[in-house]
Amino acid sequence: MLPPSLKKLIDELSRLPGIGPKTAQRLAVHLLRSPHARIKPLGEALLSLQDGLAFCEECWHVTEESPCSICSDDSRDKTQICVVEEVLDVIAIEKTDKFKGLYHVLHGVLSPIDGVGAEQLKMKELFDRLEQHPEINELVLATNPSLEGEATALYIQKQLADSRVSVSRIARGLPIGADLEYADSVTLGKAMLHRTDY
Amino acid sequence: MLPPSLKKLIDELSRLPGIGPKTAQRLAVHLLRSPHARIKPLGEALLSLQDGLAFCEECWHVTEESPCSICSDDSRDKTQICVVEEVLDVIAIEKTDKFKGLYHVLHGVLSPIDGVGAEQLKMKELFDRLEQHPEINELVLATNPSLEGEATALYIQKQLADSRVSVSRIARGLPIGADLEYADSVTLGKAMLHRTDY
């Protein structure tokens, strides 16, 4: 009942993560009614997205040239590597202005149920990097404090048990502005366990 | 901190309705990691969306040729017009297989707070159509049973108070599968008020 070109756009949109068929329909009809000058930039941005974009071969962050601007920045502390799951996690940590070392993007987490093992991640690249760069002496594990994120952190920590590199994990505790009364008991338990000197 | 082409895609995606900056970031990174063969169809579908697509000049449904397949279908009842808000409402009613007349898509609802008056909708086109087609004798108002939808239906009904066309409104009552106990009182009130002979 819908014209083929509209149908095709709905199909393509509903393949995106978190966009179901109803949302895809709504977006497609919105786009259909938008002036062409507003759709064109989106279409072009999509088609040219991967032109000239690559992943940094040091840290696997997205970049226009490898090594990326972070890896090639001489003012950064090359002895610390922060391990994150995704490209956007680098941006989130950079925004805090509290870390001056380098990054390593795993591009995922260990998740046997989804068929994701160490081979699907940039895990081997991490260990190779540690071997090739003896100046690295701290690895900050900043994977998400989720089941998979914790498992991935634990895996890396175990692999490096006998290594010269000291391994740390980002703090887990109460988020700023939280209410003790409403905090879940796992978070509150971690906050007690990892309390710091005042 | 992000390459310009990725930044541009995030900006364009976050202009879509219901997609905030965080969702746009997530979608953009997902697309970045997808194989080019999967992004290309989406980009092309966007760019070619409006080529050859138009709105039917009778009923304002989306179509490849005007009049649309519904308006030009001789087997349909040309005495009934169902007035709906959006293109997707036509599809929803067609799926029920309970209406064999023609449609009229308003492309919105009256909403003074958003600056939408009768001029922004296909309202004049509706009244012109009723005048030009004396065979039309029933108008089924199928705008949403929301505040704006009801106001729009009331507006149309008032405009046609002295006309030969009989105006009806889709039934409002309990949805199939609902539980009386949990129904909101406005819906239940409507269901009592508009009860039908059994």
Prediction ipTM score: 0.78
DSSP line for chain A: ---HHHHHHHHHHTTSTT--HHHHHHHHHHHHHS-HHHHHHHHHHHHTTTTT-EE-TTT--EESSSSPTTTT-TTS-TTEEEEESSHHHHHHHHHHT---SEEEE-SS--BGGGTB-GGGTTHHHHHHHHHH-TT--EEEE---SSHHHHHHHHHHHHHTTTSSSEEEE---SPPTT--GGGS-HHHHHHHHHT----
Measured CA angle at A133 (ends A127, A136), to 5 deg: 85
> What is the Cα–Cα distance from A93 to A107, expressed in whole angstroms?
16
Instruction: Kindly determine whether residue A29 and residue B86, on different chains, have CB atoms separated by under 8 Å.
Output: yes
Give the model's pLDDT for residue A196. 87
pTM of the model: 0.75
Q: Give the 3-state secondary structure of residue B11.
A: helix
Give the model's pLDDT for residue A51. 86
In angstroms, what separates the C-alpha of A66 from chain B's closest C-alpha? 12
Nearest-Å Rg of the Cα atoms of chain A is 21
Give the model's pLDDT for residue A79. 96
Mutation to test the B interface, candidates A8, A14, A46, A144, most B Cβ within 10 Å: A46
> What is the Cα–Cα distance from A191 to B6, expressed in whole angstroms?
37
Instruction: Kindly determine whether residue A53 and residue B45, on different chains, have CB atoms separated by under 8 Å.
Output: no
Q: What is the pLDDT along chain A (198 residues), one digit of tens a residue?
A: 788 889 999 999 999 999 999 999 999 989 988 888 888 999 999 998 888 888 999 999 999 888 999 999 999 999 999 999 999 999 999 999 999 999 999 999 999 999 999 999 999 999 999 999 999 999 999 999 999 999 999 999 999 999 999 999 999 999 999 898 899 999 999 899 988 888
> What is the Cα–Cα distance from B20 to B6, expressed in whole angstroms?
16
Q: Which of residues 85-124 of A touch B (CB under 8 A)?
A: 86-88, 90-91, 94, 107
Token reading at B43: 């980009």
Fold assignment, B72-197: Dna Topoisomerase Vi A Subunit; Chain: A, domain 2 (3.40.1360)
Give the model's pLDDT for residue A83. 97
| Each residue's pLDDT tens digit, B142-186 | 999 999 999 999 999 999 998 999 999 999 999 999 898 899 999
Report yes or no: A114 and A142 within 8 Å, Cβ to Cβ. no
Contacts 24+ apart (CB under 8 A), B123-128: B123/B156, B125/B60, B126/B81, B126/B83, B126/B156, B127/B159
Q: Which of residues 28-47 of A touch B (CB under 8 A)?
A: 28-33, 36, 38-47
CATH 1.10.150.120 fits B4-47, yes or no: no
Report yes or no: A167 and A139 within 8 Å, Cβ to Cβ. yes
> What is the Cα–Cα distance from B117 to B43, expressed in whole angstroms?
34
Give the model's pLDDT for residue B124. 96
Give the model's pLDDT for residue B34. 87
Instruction: Kindly determine whether residue A49 and residue B62, on different chains, have CB atoms separated by under 8 Å.
Output: no
In angstroms, what separates the C-alpha of A105 from chain B's closest C-alpha? 13
> What is the Cα–Cα distance from B52 to A94, expressed in whole angstroms?
46
Q: How confident is the model at residue B49 (pLDDT cuts 50, 70, 90)?
A: confident
Domain spans of chain B, in order of start: 4-47, 72-197
Q: Which residue of A has its CA nearest to B95?
A: A1
Report yes or no: B77 and B100 within 8 Å, Cβ to Cβ. yes
Interface contact B49, partner A, CB < 8 A: yes
Q: Give the 3-state secondary structure of residue B198.
A: coil
